[in-house]
Structure 1
Amino acid sequence: MPTVSLAPIAAGYRHSVLLLPDGTVRACGENTYGQCEVSGWCDIVAVAAGNAHTGNSHTVGLRPDGTVIAAGWNKHDQCNVGDWHDIVAVAAGWRRTVGLKADGTVVAAGRNNEGQCEVGGWTDIVALTAGDWHTVGLRGDGAAITAGNNRYGQRNVNGWQELTRIAAGYLHTAGLRADGTVVAVGLNKRGQCGVGGWRTMKAIAAGSHHTVGLQSDGTVTAVGWNDYGQCEVSGWTDIVAIAAGCTHTLGLQADGTVVAAGSNAYGQCDFKK
């Protein structure tokens, strides 16, 4: 049965977020909406960053007592999570925030024009991911459930089984199976769903138009849109966590060092140990 995975690193549209071992949080990159104003956060156990192909980002933090904090763009109330409780995992999409409760149910706040927040009936969920217009939940039996837009087939996951991780990009969805293989559906214009040959993966991440895989030996591979070099990760080693934004990719090494590839136009890759 899959277990909840708490993210220590997150990549938004033009910003990046890092959870430090002491429970504090650092952020770098665009701060137009206050999405990097996390310096006062403490006692955090997981972070998430809203990622969109059109910007308007926010940042979410999960506390060990199951409460949630958020900063950044809030036009659609995606940061109105102050009354959430019993949360064990969080995900941030375009203009919304999703939370997994300890009882396996799900809550959501923010834009719901495509039904992407209609997760109130979900049960037995162990992990969440949020794309731009769709939301995906991983069930305890290793299957996936979805809500929201399906224009490009990004919700066509009904036949997926034995999943341990899920990741949602702009208009695509990827799933990691227990055997280390990866499946993907949705928009594939940039080759972001070209993961059929992947093996020995232990984690995946989905950016707006690219997909990233962390292999069991700590190396990383990526497919999809690479105009900014966001897929140039083949030289990375000793990686323990990955995150994918719009035009950049992050990797966290075992010693706490952050490595990055892709656009740094807004300083979103400017993490230093």
Structure 2
Amino acid sequence: MSGDVDVDVDVDVDEVVKMEQEMKETMVLMWGYLPGVSSQTQRTPLVLPEVVRLPGSISIGNDSWKDVSGGGCGFAMGISDSGKLITWGSTDDMGLSYVTSGKHGEIPEPFPLQTDASIVQAAAGWAHCVAVTDGGDVYTWGWKECVPTGKVVGGHSAEGASENDTRERHNSLLTEQGSPQSQVSRPSVSVSGFDSKGGAEENTKRRRISSSKHAVESSTSGDETQAALPCLVTLNPGVRIAAVAAGGRHTLALSVSDVGQVWGWGYGGEGQLGLGSRIRMVSTPHLVPCLESPSYGKDRFLAASRGNVMSEGQICKAPGSYVKGIACGGRHSAVVTDAGALLTFGWGLYGQCGQGSTDDELSPTCVSSLLGIQIEKVATGLWHTVCISTEGDVYAFGGNQFGQLGTGADQAETLPRVLEALNMEDKNAKVVSCGARHTAVITDDGNVFCWGWNKYGQLGLGDVIDRNVPSQVPMDGRLPKNVACGWWHTLVLAESPT
């Protein structure tokens, strides 16, 4: 009898998939150090992954974590499913420039932006933040040098302090990378670095940086006068942005409305804005001439008509018709084209431009040794660059004082070097992120590997010992989806096991 019964069951496959996805909890894991967070008030780093809870104010209902954002010196950022930018970190004012980026509270909370639009991507530099809405608008805030004003900054700021003094103050902090303990315990910033390892090399190799010691301010007045509230970035009519990247004091934005072109602003003294010259401060978004394209001439004319300063240098003819990925390091930049070509520009002192020398690159320049290899993604740190190919191989170059290249040594590399770590031999890298001096990747089999500087537990390996080869982070069965490195911490967006 049962074999004769025809049961009509209407199954909605999409609904089943949706239910299965909802059963998986999306979470953010963090390790490393954020000053001011209650669990780290004694400056004890998180040496193993720890779950970061969404704030109660938005976790009511079905809201969850959607993504994590890289960068941030003393603060962290993520994005919720509802499109809220979530920030947390330190509210302390110990003279560190990260207070100018919004005074993020120690508990994750939505950051107050003057828009109801959903945030789809965000990034943070040394002391500034930038976020993109689902409508392609860009908001930025923090250190005033990094926020567009619509004009090229002159010799003096509105507050009366010289722009050169501001630059020297910030360069001093950026060079030392703001060790939390050293900034708190010492009245001034040491020129030779806060760690003995690599300190002599950094001291002798520093270029165009003020050698004078800068006293760390103990009050809010100095940083407050240099802070800018969130503002909407003015771009050419019709330009919509899909992604942003933030460096030490510069920003890149990738547009979608004009077929993958790159816009930049901020400090360009080492060529990190790719405009062909050492422009100390660009306070209006400029088109970065990465590729020759039919629309480039039109955009160049539009930019010039608005008073923008464009480079007259030679345009780099790299394979590809548009840019699909961008990254900002401390003072260098990198972009990836649709054809898989990697272009770099900016400070080259440690070989972070991958051109086989330590020269600065003032214009986007193809990394010729990688031609023939299709690069999929790129990430940049303070002095190093790491990229992954479509085949899942990892290539690294630049500064390596703390093993951040993962080569098994501490020598800098001026040319890309493929990683040959035994524990990653049969794995394909899919996602990469760089902190100031550490690196993290996610492989296609759901593992996270970290290497480099680990003084503050930013490798998540249970200790504070540096690693010069990729080391697997214990994830307890959680499936990583994205990774974002900050200066002293690492964030991973992950799904819980079903």
After TM superposition, is the score higher than 0.5?
Answer: yes
Q: Is the 8 A contact 1:11 1:250 kept in 2?
A: no
225-234 or 127-136, which deviates more: 225-234
State whether structure 2 residue 388 is matched by structure 1 residue 176: yes
For 2:101, the equivalent position in structure 1 comes to 34
**C-alpha distance in 1 between matches for 2:90 and 2:234:** 27
Which has the larger helix fraction? 2
Q: Is the 8 A contact 2:254 2:325 kept in 1?
A: yes
Q: Is the 8 A contact 1:7 1:48 kept in 2?
A: no
How far is 1:38 from its partner? 2.2
For 1:227, the equivalent position in structure 2 comes to 455
Letter in 1 for 2:71: A
**C-alpha distance in 2 between matches for 1:108 and 1:29:** 27
Q: Is the 8 A contact 2:68 2:492 kept in 1?
A: no
For 2:82, the equivalent position in structure 1 comes to 22
State whether structure 2 residue 438 is matched by structure 1 residue 210: yes
Give 4+ residue runs of structure 1 displaced > 6 Å after superposition. none
8-17 or 31-40, which deviates more: 31-40
For 1:49, the equivalent position in structure 2 comes to 124
**Where in structure 2 are the equivalents of 1:37-116 lying within 5 Å?**
38-40=111-113, 42-50=117-125, 52=126, 57-77=127-147, 82-84=233-235, 85-102=239-256, 103-116=259-272
**C-alpha distance in 2 between matches for 1:163 and 1:126:** 11
Letter in 1 for 2:445: D
Pair 137,80 (structure 1): closer, same or farther in 2 beyond 3 Å: farther
CA RMSD in angstroms comes to 2.0
Which has the larger strand fraction? 1
Pair 191,116 (structure 1): closer, same or farther in 2 beyond 3 Å: same
**Where in structure 2 are the equivalents of 1:83-162 lying within 5 Å?**
83-84=234-235, 85-102=239-256, 103-118=259-274, 120-123=288-291, 124-156=322-354, 157-160=367-370, 161-162=373-374
How far is 1:227 from its partner? 1.1
**C-alpha distance in 2 between matches for 1:80 and 1:118:** 24
Matched residue SS, 2:368: coil
State whether structure 2 residue 186 is matched by structure 1 residue 186: no
Q: Is the 8 A contact 1:243 1:251 kept in 2?
A: yes
How far is 1:218 from its partner? 2.3
Q: Is the 8 A contact 2:436 2:487 kept in 1?
A: yes
**C-alpha distance in 2 between matches for 1:122 and 1:222:** 31
Aligned residues with identical type, % of pairs? 29
Matched residue SS, 1:111: strand
Matched residue SS, 1:45: strand
Q: TM-score, normalised by structure 1?
A: 0.83
Letter in 2 for 1:16: A
**C-alpha distance in 2 between matches for 1:150 and 1:208:** 16
**C-alpha distance in 1 between matches for 2:342 and 2:147:** 26
Letter in 1 for 2:124: A
28-37 or 205-214, which deviates more: 28-37
Pair 165,139 (structure 1): closer, same or farther in 2 beyond 3 Å: same
How far is 1:247 from its partner? 1.4
How far is 1:19 from its partner? 0.7
Matched residue SS, 2:482: strand
- Unpaired runs of at least 5, structure 2: 1-65, 92-98, 105-109, 149-229, 276-287, 292-321, 355-366, 408-418, 462-472
**C-alpha distance in 2 between matches for 1:95 and 1:244:** 17
**C-alpha distance in 1 between matches for 2:325 and 2:440:** 18
Letter in 2 for 1:227: K
Q: Is the 8 A contact 1:38 1:71 kept in 2?
A: no
Residue deviations 1:56-109 (CA, integer Å, cap 9, x gap) = x11111112211011222224367761133111110111111101122211111
- Unpaired runs of at least 5, structure 1: 1-5, 256-273
